Amino acid sequence: MDQLELLKKNWKKLDHTLPKLSQEEISNLIHKKSSSIVKWIFIISLLEFIIPFFLLLFVDFDEYSETKALGLYNFSIAFYTVTYIVIIYFIYRFYKNYKSISADTNPKVLMQNIIKTRRSVKHYIWFNLAMIPIISLVTLYKKFRTPDFLEKLPEGTSMLLVWFLTFVLVAVIITLTWLFYRLLYGILLHKLKKNYNELVYSNGDDCG
Amino acid sequence: MTEELEHRFIADLEQHQNIVHKVCKLYTNNKDAHNDLFQEITIQLWKAYPKFRGEAKFSTWMYRVALNTAITLYRKSKRTIKTQDFDSVLFKIESSEYDDTEEQQLQLLYKAIHHLSDIEKALVFLYLEDKNYREISETMGISEVNARVKMNRVKNKLKKIVNP
């Protein structure tokens, strides 16, 4: 007999061996805290939105008088206006995607919605990563030309070296942020992506 | 209103709890893990319950939420240490009613199922619940052809695990 047929024959008989929870026990269960992956995705994504947002706020506040002195006032205003509009757009998208995650759709749609939510967070991270070199390089370009900075620079230091170190530093910051994000993304979505691919694609995977 | 909803939900779930226990049985292999998954499925069912409009049967709606929780939403808790083998506990009770060889074969089959992937377990579950391919494909969100192909693979895989 087919293995599954044997199981099926037995499946209904299983009923009287299964645990039976009383209404009271069920009532206790529904008030317990969920440990679902969606809750974690929501908390982590929220942190991912908030942290860069606050970092930008601090940069803005610190450098306000300096940007004026560097002649970057208009650039800063334009930069932060665009940045905040984009951030608000991302928060809206993230919220909409998050709301669409529901356990009573089919597994394929559920997994797609979770991946979509994480993807909008990913794009947001990319956006932040792209903003780092733009704002830092433009500000530093102006700063490196001020008499104040040139005076403090030890004599004989090549500007080429200064720029080289600046690029290395910016590259290190971007890489670290990217690596951290990849790690987080991997931990959260590894199992889900594997299951999603298995569910959706019927060809090419090994059945042994 | 909320209280009324809660009462209705608890009564519905009490009546149909076997479905959730059976999902837990396929996805976990010890008592702690079973209880943990049962709890998470109950929470997810309760969260989704206000949206349940009765268009589908309560049991059909439960299949979706329970399987989604087992496949995607549930994150295994660290405190679920492998203790006793739940299968053997269940089947010891039953073994007195059936002959030994069949019981042994069943134990082997349940062990084999625990080696299947999350998606494959879902297919096995729906198959055991006597769902046809159309219903399986609708519940899982895949095409009927894809459901058939995957089911055949599962059958072959089980055959290989049981008779290597």
**Residue A106 and residue B138: Cβ atoms within 8 Å?**
yes
Q: Is a pLDDT exceeding 80 seen at residue B55?
A: no
Task: Please tell me what DSSP assigns to residue B29.
Answer: S
Which chain A residues have a beta carbon less than 8 Å from that of B145?
202
The residue whose two tokens read 């929220």 is A46
* pLDDT, mean over chain A: 84
> How far are the Cα atoms of A30, A39, A90, A200, B140 from residue A97, in angstroms, in the given order?
25, 14, 10, 21, 21
Whether B35 maps to a domain, the answer reads: yes
> How far are the Cα atoms of A98, B24, B50, B81 from residue A120, in angstroms, in the given order?
10, 33, 28, 36
| pLDDT reported for residue B80 | 46
B37 to chain A, closest Cα gap in Å? 10
Domain ranges, residue A99: 37-146+161-191
Q: Which amino acid is at B89?
A: V
**Residue B47 and residue A200: Cβ atoms within 8 Å?**
no
Q: A60: buried, middle or exposed (CB in 10 Å: 19+, 13-18, 0-12)?
A: middle
Q: Is a pLDDT exceeding 70 seen at residue A86?
A: yes
C-beta separation of B17 from A21 below 8 A: yes
Residue A33 confidence class, pLDDT cut points 50, 70, 90? confident
**Residue B14 and residue A22: Cβ atoms within 8 Å?**
yes
Whether B50 maps to a domain, the answer reads: yes
| pLDDT reported for residue B88 | 47
| pLDDT reported for residue A87 | 87
The residue whose two tokens read 């209280």 is B3
Give A45-75 pLDDT, tens digit per residue.
888 888 877 776 666 555 567 777 777 888 8
CATH code assigned at B42: 1.10.1740.10
> Which A positions 104-133 lie with beta carbon below 8 A of chain B?
104-111, 114
A199 to chain B, closest Cα gap in Å? 6
Whether B31 maps to a domain, the answer reads: yes
Give dist(CA A11, CA A96) in Å, integer.
Answer: 41
Share of chain A above pLDDT 70, in %: 91
The interface predicted TM-score (ipTM) is 0.81
Cβ neighbours of residue B140 under 8 Å, at least 6 residues apart? Answer: A106, A107, A108, A199, B67, B119, B122, B123, B126, B147
Whether B23 maps to a domain, the answer reads: yes
Whether A134 maps to a domain, the answer reads: yes
Whether B5 maps to a domain, the answer reads: yes
Whether A178 maps to a domain, the answer reads: yes
For chain A, say whether B107 makes contact (Cβ under 8 Å).
no
| Mean pLDDT in residue range B12-27 | 94
Q: Count structural domains, chain A.
A: 1
| pLDDT reported for residue B162 | 79
Tokens encoding A29: 């269960």
| pLDDT reported for residue A178 | 86
| pLDDT reported for residue A144 | 87
Domain ranges, residue B17: 1-82
Q: Count structural domains, chain B.
A: 1
Q: B69: buried, middle or exposed (CB in 10 Å: 19+, 13-18, 0-12)?
A: buried
| pLDDT reported for residue B91 | 44
| pLDDT reported for residue B108 | 87
Q: Within a 10 A sphere around the Cβ of B97, how many other Cβ atoms?
A: 9
HSE, side-chain direction, 13 A CA sphere, residue A73 = 4
- Please state which of the ranges A90-94, A190-194, B73-77 shows the lowest mean pLDDT: B73-77
A73-100 vs A37-62: helix axis angle to the nearest 10? 170
Whether A30 maps to a domain, the answer reads: no
Task: Please tell me what DSSP assigns to residue A18.
Answer: S
Whether A29 maps to a domain, the answer reads: no
Which chain B residues have a beta carbon less than 8 Å from that of A10?
106
Whether A151 maps to a domain, the answer reads: no
